Amino acid sequence: MAEERELSKDLGLLAALTIGVGTMIGAGIFVLPGEAAAAAGPAAALAFVVAGFIALFTALSISELGTAMPKAGGGYYYINDALGPLFGSIAGWGNWLGLAFATAFYMIGFGTYAAIFLPIPELLFLNPSQVGALVAGLIFIGVNYYGTKETGSIQVVIVIILVFVLLVFTAVGLFHVDTANLQPFAPAETGGWGAVLPAAGLIFVTYLGFAEINTVAEELKNPGRNLPLAVIGSLLFVIAFYALVMLVVMGVAPYEVVAGHGEEAVPRIAESLMGWTGLALLTFGGLLATASSANASVLASSRINFAMGRDRIITDWINEVHPKFTTPYRSIAITGVLILVFILIGDIEVLAKAGSVLHLIVYGLLNVALIVYRETDAPGYDPDFTVPLYPIVPILGAFLSFALIGFMAPIEILLSVGFVVFGAVWYVLYAKDNADPTGLLGEAIAPEDDDDEDDDVYRVVVPLSNPETEQPLVRYAAASASGRDSGAELVVVNVIEVPQQTAPSQLDLEEERVQRQQELLESARDTAEQLDVNLRTRAIVGRNAGDAVLSIIDDEDADHVLLGWAGPRRRRDVLFGSTIDPILEQAPCEVTLVKDPTEQPGDIVTLAGRGPTAPVSARRAAELSRTFPDTSLTLLNVQPRPDPDDAEDERSDEEERIDPQRAGEAAIEQVASAAELSPDEYETSVLVADDVRRELITAVATYDTVCVGTTGESMVARALYGTVPSDIVENVDGTVVMARGPDRTPRTVRQGILERLGLTTDR
């Protein structure tokens, strides 16, 4: 049967905040101050606040919608689902083309900043900013086309750098503000107070980032809390930050001077304050900001394309995933062509307003969609966050979004009308015959069924990726689950990793990987039926397999996770981590790694030392011995040979402690007792050797399966100096089982980093 794939919930609050802040703290504050100053004078600072205030109503609405139904596709999904494909066509095209216009705007900004330091020539009818934008655009489109999971991983670093750069600029600028430059605040030459709303329309494009958070709502941890915090928090932060930066810019120099600098206003003002250092610092910030915004917009556009293709608003052909790069290459290529064409327009103001107009239409419709969901009492609509003062907030959100278009120039108003007509015509000519015409009433949104499983059930999570090891891993997990009085269940998980450019839902279009996942999980179900063990399967799509499995462990409240292991790690994994690292370090339950699992464990040996994980290892070994026929279990202890020069009287005083045979037997008895093994379940073996490590490796190599507890040393120490478990893995040809006990202590990011550097110890 077909497995319903889930999206890995591996994005936390910080990641969601940086998506919003990183997209908004971009070209808006680095490129638009000059244009805004020309449009409204010092009141441009107020225009940034007004535009943000209008966006805030939509931010509240999209937070409710996102917590009710976290869906890939963001605002488009809700409009199409609530209002039907006619408005879905308008919203989808608006979102897509709006992002293309905005990306072209960001790229022009990038080219402008690059031209400050690089000798970019004019080319035909293109100015240096356009030439730089085209080159940068080709690079960004190429990076997204070829794809990499790490494309979005540096977003946090970029945001921190940008905030730092702007804070330095603001702190220095505050000491040079001349309040005379802010008078009059709304000069008559720019239109007085009446210029504020048109200026707000111009700069509205800079507040698009908060909505991008909703496009990854399905991937958020605890979306009921984190989604509204990220959406509203990122917007409020950027509003306050923009207002402060703009007041400093306008206070340092007369607005005519700021306007005269055009797109280079911020770095040129910084140059007047800090000389070449200020120019270089803010130029670097501008390059980072415009690049970050452009990349985020290209990523978001593929999500919109996917959602439109899924709903048959456009052809699904556009969403095909590349067989090698696993990216929606057709979507990225078509969006890239649009961006390059829009770059040829070359006018920052035209591109900014085009992006603003199209998104204002979408935001207005999104607020209407919220009202429809509420008033129709839609099935499954149960948001964790609700907008305050309903229905005032969504009504104002819709009205202000549409009304702001009315304060723009006639050409922008005409653009908005023409675009709505285009969306309607597209619906009539194409979407009407292909898409579900019924909107909200056409498809009930079923809530997730609550799992009624007994909380006392012993639950083992089994991540699978290799068909060759699927059966033995399921059997080993079943051995761990067997004999539980409270009942037991296996949860088999397979994770398909996708690059940042691919919406996880798009894996429907990559048939080969999806089929492999289905076959693997179906085989696991067959194995469970043979063993008569309860088993559920979960098909996950995410960006990091380790984080995805951790999310499942938490969601299932698992007691044990058992997974296959390739053995010794590459050196780069020591510092940068591997898939198993986050599981081994952060899973709050028991963890078992199995290298080279086999259908029959055969003769099993477990190391009965004095370490804290020895009883866990012995318990795993006993579970295998009890479950599989024709097996034997030996508890092995190796003692160092006593130094013959030791004083005889000291040995006689502590004979039992010093005598290696008795010491080994005592250690074995202690481990067996802690593991709750009966004496008839195992044999004992105590060896005495001059070189304990060498003797141990030699001894265990004669068994079919070796069970050992994980080490407590830091990662770097293990990599540099080696450990007994790692020596066993490298020198034993048979199956190796490594186990550790549960750790319910919350682990922070900082702790994980310190451990990776070898500055702290594991459990």
Would you place residue 302 in the very low, low, confident or very high pLDDT band (cuts 50, 70, 90)?
low
DSSP string over 239-270: HHHHHHHHHHHHHHS-HHHHHHHGGGHHHHHH
What pLDDT score was predicted for residue 514? 64
242/266 same-domain check: yes
pLDDT at 395 over 90: yes
Cβ 487 vs Cβ 454: under 8 Å: yes
591/529 same-domain check: no
Residue type at 140?
Answer: F
What pLDDT score was predicted for residue 110? 87
pLDDT at 464 over 90: no
Report how far residue 679's alpha carbon sits from residue 429's, in angstroms, rounded to the nearest whole number. Answer: 79
Residue length of the chain: 763
369/272 same-domain check: yes
695/757 same-domain check: yes
Would you place residue 57 in the very low, low, confident or very high pLDDT band (cuts 50, 70, 90)?
very high
Q: What percent of the chain has pLDDT over 90?
A: 9
394/488 same-domain check: no
Residue of 186, 172, 352 whose CA lies nearest to 244:
172
413/519 same-domain check: no
Q: Tens of pLDDT along 286-298?
A: 888 888 777 777 7
What dihedral angle (degrees, nearest 10) is formed by the CA atoms of 268, 270, 242, 180?
A: -90
pLDDT at 5 over 50: no
pLDDT at 146 over 80: no
The strand pairing partners of 605, in sequence order, are 634, 706
Q: What percent of the chain has pLDDT over 70?
A: 79
Sheet of strand 603-607: strand arrangement: 5-7, 535-542, 488-497, 458-463, 560-565, 590-595, 735-740, 705-709, 603-607, 632-640, 683-689
Which range of residues forms the domain containing residue 552? Answer: 454-565
Q: What is the mean pLDDT of residues 521-532?
A: 79
Rounded to the nearest angstrom, the gap between the alpha carbon of residue 273 and the centroid of all alpha carbons in its chain is 39
| Helix ranges, 316-451 (H) | 329-343, 348-375, 392-405, 410-429
pLDDT at 190 over 80: yes
Q: What is the mean pLDDT of residues 517-543?
A: 77
Would you place residue 750 in the very low, low, confident or very high pLDDT band (cuts 50, 70, 90)?
very low
Mapping DSSP to helix (H, G, I), strand (E, B) and coil, where does residue 123 land?
strand
Report how far residue 548's alpha carbon sits from residue 7's, in angstroms, rounded to the nearest whole number. Answer: 9
Would you place residue 233 in the very low, low, confident or very high pLDDT band (cuts 50, 70, 90)?
confident
CATH number of residue 155's parent domain: 1.20.1740.10
pLDDT at 383 over 80: yes
- 455 burial class (0-12, 13-18, 19+ CB within 10 angstroms)? exposed
Report how far residue 585's alpha carbon sits from residue 763's, in angstroms, rounded to the nearest whole number. Answer: 9
Name the domain boundary from 542, 565, 588.
565
Q: What is the mean pLDDT of residues 551-571?
A: 76
Report how far residue 456's alpha carbon sits from residue 721's, in angstroms, rounded to the nearest whole number. Answer: 42
Mapping DSSP to helix (H, G, I), strand (E, B) and coil, where does residue 220 land?
strand
Would you place residue 27 in the very low, low, confident or very high pLDDT band (cuts 50, 70, 90)?
low
Q: Does residue 4 form part of some domain?
A: no
Would you place residue 443 in the very low, low, confident or very high pLDDT band (cuts 50, 70, 90)?
very low
Name the domain boundary from 405, 434, 463.
434
Q: Does residue 170 form part of some domain?
A: yes
Lowest mean pLDDT among 453-457, 528-532, 606-610, 634-638: 453-457
Residue type at 549?
Answer: V
What pLDDT score was predicted for residue 354? 81
What pLDDT score was predicted for residue 446? 35
Cβ 172 vs Cβ 273: under 8 Å: yes
Give the H/E segment covering residue 615.
Answer: helix 614-627
Q: What is the pTM of this model?
A: 0.61
Mapping DSSP to helix (H, G, I), strand (E, B) and coil, where does residue 560 land?
strand
Q: Does residue 3 form part of some domain?
A: no
499/524 same-domain check: yes
How many other C-beta atoms can be found within 10 angstroms of the C-beta atom of residue 69? 21
How is the chain split among helix, strand and coil, in percent rounded to 5? Answer: 65, 10, 25
Would you place residue 568 in the very low, low, confident or very high pLDDT band (cuts 50, 70, 90)?
low
What pLDDT score was predicted for residue 1? 43
What pLDDT score was predicted for residue 705? 92
Name the domain boundary from 565, 587, 614.
565
Report how far residue 308's alpha carbon sits from residue 672's, in angstroms, rounded to the nearest whole number. Answer: 61
pLDDT at 421 over 80: yes
Q: What is the mean pLDDT of residues 228-247?
A: 88
CATH number of residue 600's parent domain: 3.40.50.620
- 446 burial class (0-12, 13-18, 19+ CB within 10 angstroms)? exposed
Q: Does residue 444 form part of some domain?
A: no
How many other C-beta atoms can be found within 10 angstroms of the C-beta atom of residue 328? 30
50/148 same-domain check: yes
Q: What is the mean pLDDT of residues 526-534?
A: 79
| Helix ranges, 147-183 (H) | 155-174
Cβ 151 vs Cβ 299: under 8 Å: yes
Q: Tens of pLDDT along 628-686?
A: 888 999 999 988 888 666 545 454 445 445 688 888 898 899 999 988 899 888 999 99
Q: Does residue 443 form part of some domain?
A: no
Report how far residue 233's alpha carbon sits from residue 631's, in angstroms, rounded to the nearest whole number. Answer: 59
Torsion sign, CA atoms 752, 753, 754, 758: positive
What pLDDT score was predicted for residue 213? 73
Give the H/E segment covering residue 88.
Answer: helix 85-117
* Beta strand 590-595 pairing with 735-740: antiparallel
226/328 same-domain check: yes
Q: Does residue 80 form part of some domain?
A: yes
Q: What is the mean pLDDT of residues 155-168?
A: 80
pLDDT at 753 over 70: no
What pLDDT score was predicted for residue 512? 61
How many domains does the chain fold into? 3
The tokens for 292 are 């970050």
Across 555-690, where does the E strand assignment appear?
560-565, 590-595, 603-607, 632-640, 683-689
Q: Tens of pLDDT along 586-611?
A: 788 888 888 888 888 999 999 888 77
What pLDDT score was predicted for residue 744? 45
What pLDDT score was predicted for residue 286? 86
- 652 burial class (0-12, 13-18, 19+ CB within 10 angstroms)? exposed
What pLDDT score was predicted for residue 455? 57
Report how far residue 38's alpha carbon sits from residue 111's, in angstroms, rounded to the nearest whole number. Answer: 21
Cβ 707 vs Cβ 737: under 8 Å: yes
Q: Tens of pLDDT along 309-349?
A: 767 788 777 767 776 776 777 888 888 888 888 888 877 77
635/763 same-domain check: yes
Residue type at 328?
Answer: P
On the question of a cis peptide bond just before residue 119, with omega within 30 degrees of 0, the verdict is no
What pLDDT score was predicted for residue 138? 87
Mapping DSSP to helix (H, G, I), strand (E, B) and coil, where does residue 318 land?
helix
Fill in the DSSP letter of residue 380.
T
Q: Does residue 447 form part of some domain?
A: no
What pLDDT score was predicted for residue 292? 76
Would you place residue 42 in the very low, low, confident or very high pLDDT band (cuts 50, 70, 90)?
very high
551/570 same-domain check: no
Mean pLDDT of the chain: 78
Q: Does residue 446 form part of some domain?
A: no
The tokens for 44 are 């441009």
711/630 same-domain check: yes
Residue type at 36?
Answer: A
Q: What is the mean pLDDT of residues 1-21?
A: 62
Report how far residue 611's alpha carbon sits from residue 671's, in angstroms, rounded to the nearest whole number. Answer: 9
Of 69 and 354, the one with more pLDDT:
354
